[in-house]
Amino acid sequence: MKKYSYVGISFVILVFGIWFFPKIMERLDQDNVSYDKRLDNFKDLSFVKLNDEKKRVPEFIFLNQDSLYIGNEDFLGKVFVVEFFFTSCPSICIEMNKNMKILDDEFGDRDDFGLASFTIDPKNDTPKVLKEYSELLGVKSKNWHFLTGDISDIYKLSNNGFNIFSSVNPDVAGGFEHQGFFALIDKRGYIRSRENGMGSPIVYYLGINNENSNEQGIDMIKEDIKKLLKNE
């Protein structure tokens, strides 16, 4: 009789363990996820450094789509995002500016946020052309500036100032090539970014979607813009 009692007790313990243990583990996993998210939300973004010095946006001044001169000082006090593109681009610029428009839709009504789109084809992209392009995109913010100017100054800003590659290349579609990165700048003019798994800054955010990644650049930069707007 005792044998059957032990079997019955063992069966109850087994059923209890099968049902209850996964619940405990699920709760622990949820707690860990919540804890990690809390850590992530309060973690400062890294400064991008060159020769151990925090890298700031170089000085610049160009004409925008309204034929107004806009310079780096106009962005002080604003969190802003920088890209390099051209209006006749047949490839990555289309997706980049769809993602810039996502940022414009979310943050464009704030006075402490801005966007700067520098054309790498200033011969074609006059203020008039840039104005038409901005209207086609349905730009919301008065602080989204499409900027044009002297080609040597623009390429110096891109390749040396931001280290985002841009070049004239008649052998590629559209006649120009460039990297599809977004740069994130804080209100004091410093280039900022989140860190990778090794604790180093990623430096720039991918402006186009990567089908092999679980988290897209646009999602990361949106989250980090919110951090800078909240904490500065």
Q: Where are the domains of the chain?
A: 1-42, 46-231
Q: Distance between CA atoms of 106 and 28, rounded to whole angstroms?
A: 34
Statement: residue 9 has pLDDT above 70:
no
CA angle 85, 163, 141 (to 5 degrees): 40
Using CA of residue 77, residue 81, residue 82, residue 88, what is the dihedral sign?
Answer: negative
Statement: residue 50 has pLDDT above 90:
no
Q: Distance between CA atoms of 116 and 109, rounded to whole angstroms?
A: 15
> And the tokens for 92?
């990555």
Q: Average pLDDT of 111-133?
A: 98
Q: Average pLDDT of 133-144?
A: 95
Statement: residue 25 has pLDDT above 90:
no
Lowest mean pLDDT among 34-43, 52-61, 142-151: 34-43
CATH no., domain 46-231: 3.40.30.10
**Beta bridge pairs of residue 85:** 119
Q: Average pLDDT of 65-92?
A: 97
pTM above 0.85, yes or no: no
Statement: residue 5 has pLDDT above 60:
no
Q: Average pLDDT of 99-104?
A: 97
Q: What is the dihedral of CA 223, 228, 230, 232, to 10 degrees?
A: 170
Predicted confidence (pLDDT) per residue in 155-168, tens digit: 999 999 999 999 99
Percentage of the chain with pLDDT > 70?
81
